[in-house]
Each structure stands twice: as structure tokens, then as C-alpha cells.
Amino acid sequence: MAQIQIKPERLLSFITEMANIGGTPNGGCNRQALTEEDRIGRTLFLNWCSEIGGVARLDSMGNIFVHFKGTDTTKLPVLMGSHLDTQPSGGKFDGVYGVLAALEVMSSLHDQNITLTHPVEIVVWSNEEGSRFSPAMSGSGVFAGKLSQSTLYQSVDDQGVSYQQALITTEQLGEFPCQSFPFAAALELHIEQGPILEAEQKSIGIVTGVQGMNWYQVTISGETTHAGPTPMSMRKDPVQGLHAMLPSLYAKVAEYGEQARITIGKITTIPSSPNTVPEQVIFTLDLRHPEQSILDKMSEELLSLCQQVPSILGSQVDVLWQSPAVVFDARCIDVVTQAAEQLSLTAMPIVSGAGHDSVYLSTVGPTGMIFVPCKDGISHNEKEHVEPEHLIAGGNVLLHSLMQLAQ
């Protein structure tokens, strides 16, 4: 079957046209979830699907499912897809590529008059990025029963608009309930969003799983006072507590090897004044590891270190979010491996360092992912770039993986 290929120029055209919706001056995209730009992008996608016989339905979280018939109506569908929403200063490929490559796969099968045995559904998950409404991966999380729809409906953006209001305003509130249904397999094609494939000079990443992720908020409390009159030795300065804590946190994570990750992405002082010793320092702690048992142990040790502040200071740790480590379905991994071999593409197994809709999807059915390299590992950035040959290679691997799963 390796002779069947996607049409490169059509895939690249899909990506270019979608990138024009919400395009930014620096070549990126701002098409946040359930905005007018998102609605326009979704409409364009649905028009393309309709041209090749896709029948769409919309669920109560704004997830789109486009159905393509199979020859055997008793067979479960195979799902393909990702998301169309972007970060405020996102790129052209994150998520979008997985949706449009799935569309190109179905377009190529349509060109060849090929109908697979299983039905196929292209999925567009709503609010994957979480840049407008929190938490991220909202649509897939509710679908999998891991997040509450009623709670998410009340999530508001910076302008006070709720998720539910945005669904209604953009006409994305579907009549079908957002809940899981049986499927034969699910595939998500995505850019790596990291530097490993490029560094290893591989065209395809065969994703074996996703790192476990724990997010915490740590608050160190002291006492606010004037910056001038109070001697250093008499201050209850939480910034000094943070300064003393950081080396031990990084050193502890280093003990767990190259697969362990720590990120302190946000640090806030209260009050935030140049001439006032703050009363509190609040920082976020993002911990990741592909093995859940190791992540649990590492997290326990780091949270213990966060409590070890001088007696004049206080410390509190709050859990913000936790996503368990995921191991993808063995058969999905196998068909992606075979497809890359069929196409004579360089490939390697890889663990995803970022969260994806497939994390939630894997809890309700057989799921796999395919990665392609992105330049310098840059993503969530207007500079995000993927070479055309990698976009095409990923599309062809998706095509042949689908044919193995759905025939």
C-alpha cells in the first residue's frame, strides 16, 4: 500500500489558508478557543470536509466529529484529529497540523475512491490550549469523563466571558452530549514541540507515551516592611526564603536523571512594589517524568523541600493540576512503526513532554500519536516552523497507519 500518498500541495494549501485566519504580523496565529476567528476556522474546515462527503456533528463542549462511512456499518470508528485553537501568539502548526493532515488523508482516499472497512471520524477538540479558558484540553477531558462540563461552563476568560457564553455566541454549542463512545483506535499527528527529533535527524517520532505532569503553587509568607529603615538581619523576607530554596529543588530533580523536569514558570511578589519588602512570594512548580512512580516520589521529596523554610517564614503548597503518565496502545504504536518502515522514513520512539488531547482519549480507548520535528524545538511561538518534507512525511505515516487500523 506504500504507493498511495497524500497530495503535498493540497496539505500545504490547507495549512496556509487556515493560518490566514487570525494571522499575526510576525507570521503566527491568534485563533483562541471559541472566538470569532475560531468559528471562521472551524467553518472553513467543515466546508472542506463536506466537499469529500464528511458529515459533521457538534457536541455540548464544542467538539467537532466529522464522520466518513466505512463499508461495514457494524465496525467501530477509527478517530483522527487534534485541535484548531491556538495560543495568543501561537504558530501555524500546533494542533492544526493534526486536523488538516487528517483531512488530507481522507481527501487522498476520496481521490482514489477508497472506502475503508471501518468508518473514520476526524475530531476537532475544543479549547485544547487552555489559553482562554482553564483548564487546557477541556473538550477531550469532558469527553473522557475526567473533567466536569458544568464546572467548565463557568470558566471565564480575561473579559469575564464564560465558556458556555462563548459556545452560544460562536454557535458552537452542539445538541449532542459530550461523552465518550466506543472506538476502534485513535491517532493524533502533532509537531514534537521539542528539539529531540531534529537533533537526532529523524523524520518521525513514534510516541510511546506522555510524561506525567504535576503542577503546584508554593506560597512563602513573611512580613511586609519599608525597604529603607529595616536592616537585612531583622527582615522576614520571603524572597530570601525562595533564594535559599531554589538550589535544593534543582539539585533534587537532577538526581532523577535526564528524563526528570522542573520548571518554575511564574514568580509573584505581594505587594509588588520596588521599595517594599513583600509579604508573600508565590511561585508555580511544574514537575514531569514519564514514569508515574518516579514522578510521585520526586514530587513528594520536592514538596517536602518547599516546606523547609526558616522558622520566621511560613510555607504552603497547593495542587493546581495533575496529569498521570500515559503509555499508549501497543497496536497503535506498532502500526505507526510499520507505516514509517513501509515509507522508508527515519523514525525513533519518543515520549511526549507536553500534554495532548490523546492523554485523556487514551483513558477510554486505544490511542497513539505521531510526531514530526519542528525547527529548533520552538512551539507556542510565532516562530514555530516545520519543514514541508516533514509535514508530508507525517501525513503519509498517518495515512498508512489509518489504513492498517481501518481495513
Angle at 344 between CA 339 and CA 347, to 5 degrees: 70
Q: How many CA atoms lie within 13 A of 3 on its CB side?
A: 1
Q: How many CA atoms lie within 13 A of 241 on its CB side?
A: 30
Looking at the chain, which residues constitute the CATH 3.30.70.360 domain(s)? 212-322
Q: How much is the average pLDDT of 321-342?
A: 95
CA 214 to centroid of chain Cα atoms: 15
> How does pLDDT run across 306-324, given as a tens digit for each residue?
999 999 999 999 999 888 8
> How does pLDDT run across 229-278, given as a tens digit for each residue?
999 999 999 999 999 999 999 999 999 999 999 999 999 999 999 999 99
> pTM of the predicted model, to two decimals?
0.88
Which of 43-47, 58-62, 171-175, 377-381 is predicted least confidently? Answer: 377-381
> How does pLDDT run across 100-122, given as a tens digit for each residue?
999 999 999 999 999 999 999 99
> How does pLDDT run across 264-297, given as a tens digit for each residue?
999 999 999 999 999 999 999 999 999 999 999 9
Q: Quote the CA–CA distance of 367 and 330 in Å, as a whole number.
A: 9
Angle at 296 between CA 331 and CA 371, to 5 degrees: 35
- Residue 185 makes CB contacts below 8 A (sequence gap 6+) with 78, 79, 329, 331, 332, 365, 366, 367, 368, 405
Nearest CA among 99, 191, 100, 98 for reference residue 377: 191
Q: Quote the CA–CA distance of 406 and 335 in Å, as a whole number.
A: 11
Burial class (CB in 10 A: 0-12, 13-18, 19+), 51: exposed
- pLDDT reading at 94 higher than 80: yes
What does each C-alpha distance from 202 to 344, 373, 388 come to in angstroms?
A: 12, 8, 14
The answer to whether 374 touches 388, Cβ cutoff 8 Å, is no
pLDDT score recorded for residue 321: 83
Q: Quote the CA–CA distance of 286 and 263 in Å, as a whole number.
A: 5
What percentage of the chain has pLDDT greater than the value 70? 100
pLDDT score recorded for residue 343: 97
Q: Is the peptide bond before 135 cis (omega within 30 degrees of 0)?
A: yes
> How does pLDDT run across 382-399, given as a tens digit for each residue?
999 999 999 999 999 999
Q: How much is the average pLDDT of 37-62?
A: 98
pLDDT score recorded for residue 354: 86
Supply 241's cell numbers: 526564603
Looking at the chain, which residues constitute the CATH 3.40.630.10 domain(s)? 8-211+325-406
State which fold the 8-211+325-406 domain adopts: Aminopeptidase (3.40.630)
Q: How much is the average pLDDT of 115-130?
A: 98
pLDDT score recorded for residue 2: 47
Bridging pattern class, strands 314-323 and 55-58: unpaired
Nearest CA among 283, 280, 299, 281 for reference residue 291: 299
pLDDT score recorded for residue 353: 87
> How does pLDDT run across 8-31, given as a tens digit for each residue?
999 999 999 999 999 999 999 999
Q: Tell me the backbone φ, ψ of residue 256, rounded to 5 degrees.
A: -90, 5
> How does pLDDT run across 163-210, given as a tens digit for each residue?
999 999 999 999 999 999 999 999 999 999 999 999 999 999 999 999
pLDDT score recorded for residue 38: 98
Confidence of residue 1 (pLDDT cuts 50, 70, 90): very low
Q: Which residues pair with 288 in a beta bridge?
A: 213, 261
Question: To the nearest whole number, what is the mean pLDDT of the chain?
Answer: 96
From the candidate CATH numbers 3.40.1160.10, 3.40.50.720, 3.40.50.1580, 3.30.70.360, the one assigned to the domain spanning 212-322? 3.30.70.360
Looking at per-residue pLDDT, the higher value among 134 and 371 belongs to 371
